[in-house]
Structure 1
Amino acid sequence: MDEEGASGMTDIRALAPEEMAQAICGSDAVFRDAEQTSMGIAFSSVFSAALSQSLGAFEDGKLVSFMGLVPATLRIGAAHVPIFSIGSVFTGPDDRGRGHAGRLLQAAKSHVRASGGALILVSGTRSLYLRNQCHSYGEITRFTIGPVQGEELLGSHAGIAVRELSRTDWLSLHALAASRHVAYAQTVRELAELIACEAYASCFKLRHRTLVATEDGRVAAFAVLAMPDERGSEQEPFAIEWAGKAGALAALFGHAVVAYGLPRLDVPVAWNETELLQALSGVPSAKDRNLGTVHIADAERLFESLSPYWHAAAASDAPRIRTLAHHRYALAAPNGGTFELDAETLVSLMFDPKPTQPAAFEARAAMPGLFPVPLPYVGGLNFV
């Protein structure tokens, strides 16, 4: 894709392997300081020459703007949803305000559709995304565990022992991660490498500490926590990713606060993690949205991929959808009713526990048990 820029032709395209160094250098200049790990290490999938998904705007061979793009699969019950994540987006200081990021976003959407993607998860919420059919979505509960709550959680879940990760734990950790109802698909190796990369934690000058909770000698839960190191980050510690029994997780979080002398530990729990929400119900909390925004890249493909989830969750036929002009959709309920929705309303219908758009209430009432569709909290190991 070529467009005329202020200094000649602007070439919008995927980066060649030998151009990734330019992207890492530019990303480090925008997002990192001397105390932080290079973006090329923390977000290795963004700059992967093997994947070769990320896009750039080039002028005279120079990278002037960049958009990281990473494919993945979400497991939602019995469904496997093909998605892409967008992040590490930057434009050089001398090239801002010329529409490069907007053109990269349109190119990314086209690439996602051509690649078989259904959803795009975007780490940002700025106007670039909001005016291009990327919308806030979902709900999480942010629990703030202090020393008092930490002691209470430990006392309420006797019989749970907590220790740090051992070399012999990887298969157990992967089995727990794979048993989650909603999660990114990960191999054993990917899980280990994502923990080592410390992507989201590194944004706040925090480091990963992985804890394992055992019950009767067996691994019952694990959690990856973002914790301060000698750099003395002022960011509060927070939970990155976890899996396992809710009671074991509650004890693990309590142990972390008490054992490491943390003033607070932030644990963001998605609305669909009902057992963990109950286990932490005595802890101070506040409601929040999921991180970033979501864009429905291909509605028909999304509904097709979700069909196994709907069949298992509601024991009924899946709804059908048809994309109309001007970012509108015709949604057909299994009972025969039809609803015309805009993009924001469709996102709210699908992913919000309580729809924020009034038009979504009528559609949801006509399709009990089908909505909302759970998505994972995206500030975890797969954050882009």
Structure 2
Amino acid sequence: MQLRLIKPAELDQAALLADSVFREPGATSMKELFPLIFRPGLSHSYAAIADDGTVAAFMGLVPSTIKTGDAFLNVFSIGAVCTDPAFRGQGLAGQLLQLCQSHAAEAEASLIFVSGDRSLYTRAGCVPFGGTQFAELNASSAQALAAAAGEEWTLRPMQPGDFFAVYRLLNEREAGHVYSPGELALLLGTEAYAGVMGLAQRTLVAVRDGSIEGFAAVAVPAAADVPAPNTATAVEWAGQPSAVAALLAKAALCGGVGTLQVPVPWQERGLLALLRDAGASLSGGANSGTVCIADREALLRQTEGCRKGLDLSSVQDDKELISLLFDPASSEDSDAIPLPYMSGLRFI
């Protein structure tokens, strides 16, 4: 058994393994949902390769950059973790995780985000992080939100000609993934999170005086008359809070949606106020998944410009350091470093 970086020629086999573990027959393949993991290129993912060349286990590892204020965090995300049933019980996933952590540290990444929270990850130092308010819009609160947002916007599906306006809005957020135009166009089409949830992605824009001032991607039932496996959810948004609120209200009031869940990062106070005033139910929690430190020095270096004088020289425990940096409950909200919600367009 070899545990190593996967080769481009082996990615199709890894995608088939992931399909056998995560997807129902006839469902969209993981290869289509997660091109950042499975398309050929400079792969960072690892696999356990049996003596006959079979991909026995796989762990997707994808690099990205997160903008938070004026700082940029170079990070990795782990996803599509799977082991062939014939090779389970050999500790392959744990060994692959160690290789991924070493890889990220060597690349001087600051953090590794993981889409899961099972013991495989928590034993390796992954912890919950950040703060999120989970809003739930029903018909009543959605109607109130629509009334509060006003009628000054034209709300319509996103068109190809809207692309650069949406790209600008996403890059203007206080905290968010840094997208290249090509990457954003790809992710808008792959619908990864919606696909995993058994839903369909819809993209909407709010236009005023010919200018796009709001964008929202939502995962909703594919058809109004077909029961959906999961509740509709907002995937990602950007723009003026009132414009975003109008788009979320529109999505919630569409036929077949019923209830729309909106995971709002703690720093988006304007949108949270609109949702609260409209009567949406709110419950607090952490961000999506878990995170671990890849390289402590890189983390301190990359967050230096947004730590606001916070002295971390005596903090030795990784969990405490992550909490002090990113958890709004650990200090004053204004001292925590904001992060995007991680189950968005760039869900891994």
TM-score tier after normalising by the smaller chain length: over 0.9
Alignment partner, residue 286 of structure 2: 289
Say which SS state the counterpart of residue 281 (structure 1) adopts: helix
| 2:170 aligned residue | 177
C-alpha distance after superposition, 1:57-107 (max 9, x if no partner): 112022111000000001111111100000100111121111101100000
Tell me which moved more, 100-109 or 344-353: 344-353
Paired with 2:229 and 2:301, the residues of 1 have a C-alpha distance of: 45
2:116 corresponds to: 124
> What percent of counterpart residues are identical?
37
Q: How does 1:10-159 map to 2 (within 5 A)?
A: 10-60=1-51, 61-158=53-150, 159=152
Q: What TM-score results when the alignment is normalised by the length of structure 2?
A: 0.94
Give the Cα separation in 1 of the matches to 2:291 and 2:261: 23
Q: Show structure 1 runs of 4+ deviating over 3 A.
A: 368-371
Q: Say which one has the larger Rg.
A: 1
Q: What does 1:298-309 align with in structure 2 at a 5 Å threshold? A: 298-309=295-306
Q: SS at 1:354's partner residue?
A: helix
1:289: Cα distance to partner? 1.5
Q: Name the structure, 1 or 2, with higher relative contact order (CA <8 Å, separation 6+).
A: 2
Give the equivalent residue in structure 1 for 2:156: 163
In 2, are the aligned partners of 1:224 and 1:239 still within 8 Å (CA)? yes
Partner of 1:276: 271
SS in 2 for 1:229: coil
Deviation at 1:374, TM superposition (A): 1.3
Q: Distance in 1 between matches of 2:158 and 2:72?
A: 29
Query: What is the root-mean-square deviation of aligned Cα atoms in Å?
Result: 1.6
Q: Distance in 1 between matches of 2:334 and 2:142?
A: 37
1:221 aligns to what SS in structure 2? strand
- SS of the equivalent of 1:70 reads strand
CA separation in 1, counterparts of 2:228 and 2:26?
Answer: 10
Q: Does 1:237 align with 2:229?
A: no
**Conservation of the 8 A alpha-carbon contact between 1:204 and 1:233:** no
| In 1: Cα distance, 2:95 partner to 2:343 partner | 26
Change (3 A) 1:369 1:267: closer
Query: 1:325-374, CA deviations, whole angstroms, 9 ceiling, x for partnerless residues?
Result: xxxxxx32xxxxxx24312211211111113xxxxxxxx6xxx8884211
Q: Which residue of 2 aligns with 1:342?
A: 317
Aligned length: 342
Partner of 2:183: 190
Asked if structure 2 preserves the Cα contact closer than 8 Å seen for 1:177 and 1:242, the reply is yes
**Could you tell me how far apart the structure 1 residues matched to 2:199 and 2:39 are?**
23
Q: 1:326 aligns to what? A: none
* Residue of structure 2 in register with 1:383 after alignment: 347
Return the alpha-carbon distance in structure 2 between the equivalents of residues 228 and 198 of structure 1.
13
Q: SS of the residue aligned with 2:35? A: coil
TM-score normalized by the length of structure 1: 0.86
Q: 1:43 to 1:378 in 2, by over 3 A?
A: same
Per-residue CA deviations over 1:279-338 (Å, capped at 9, x if unaligned) read 21131121122111000111111111112334xxx3x5x74xxxxxxxxxxx32xxxxxx
- Classify 1:261/1:200 alpha carbon distance in 2 versus 1 (closer, same or farther; 3 Å): closer
Say whether the 8 Å CA contact 2:252–2:258 is kept in structure 1. Answer: yes
Supply the distance in 2 between the matched residues of 1:285 and 1:51 (Cα, whole angstroms): 41
Q: Is the 8 A contact 2:129 2:286 kept in 1?
A: yes
The answer as to whether partners of 2:325 and 2:336 remain within 8 angstroms in 1 is: yes
